[in-house]
Chains A and B, each alone.
Chain A
Amino acid sequence: DAKTTQPTSMDCAEGRAANLPCNHSTISGNEYVYWYRQIHSQGPQYIIHGLKNNETNEMASLIITEDRKSSTLILPHATLRDTAVYYCIVRGNFGNEKLTFGTGTRLTIIP
């Protein structure tokens, strides 16, 4: 699986957009980018995933660069409940479906 690089920590003001970057320069053509978050010691929560195109759901938007070497997760209006560790993961091919978690970005939303 391709390796990902994320900042260790970030702060964001409540109500502002939180933009979390991720580098995955060795991603293969058929590998997806997944984002999960973990609030305190709860089970990781799925946020969004994408292959090539930008994606949006009720939680967030995912912007993937044209060369697919990096992506950005956007939480449009961050709330205190968005404080968590955010993981960017590149998932292997079908048949090798495990998620390899890195150290993630600890996002703190500031009141």
Chain B
Amino acid sequence: DSGVTQTPKHLITATGQRVTLRCSPRSGDLSVYWYQQSLDQGLQFLIQYYNGEERAKGNILERFSAQQFPDLHSELNLSSLELGDSALYFCASSVAGVGYTFGSGTRLTVV
């Protein structure tokens, strides 16, 4: 157990639908990062939050959004889902950017 908790572990949904992925960081970690890993793209950085504020943005689609709540957990919202959104979604947390710890991921399948 890495200390970073992601739920759900698996998610199957239809095209056009909306889903929410949840991440609880390690205790004390203020930064949360979201990554997408699809078969043909490798690990792609999506977005980072630090203590509730957006810190950095990567290749995140406009259909995707995220937020970090006062208790530091984060949610990644994916809407108008397409087949190509099928991927593993990882959350990671860190203290001041040192020693990132990744969760075990959410496997999203869009059918």
Interface residues of A, Cβ cutoff 8 Å to B: 36, 38, 41-46, 49, 87, 91, 94-103
Contacts and interface: CB of A to CB of B under 8 A. Distances in A.
Interface of B: 2, 4, 31, 33, 35, 37, 42-45, 48, 55-56, 58, 88, 90, 92, 94, 96-97, 99-105, 107
B56 A45 contact: no
B97 A42 contact: no
A98 B48 contact: yes
Contacts, number: 56
Main secondary structure of the interface of A (DSSP, over half): loop
Contacts of B105: 41-43
Contacts of A96: 56
A97 B57 CA distance: 11
B48 A99 contact: no
Contacts of B96: 94, 97
Nearest 5 interchain pairs by C-beta: A97-B97, A43-B102, A101-B43, A98-B45, A44-B102
B102 A45 contact: yes
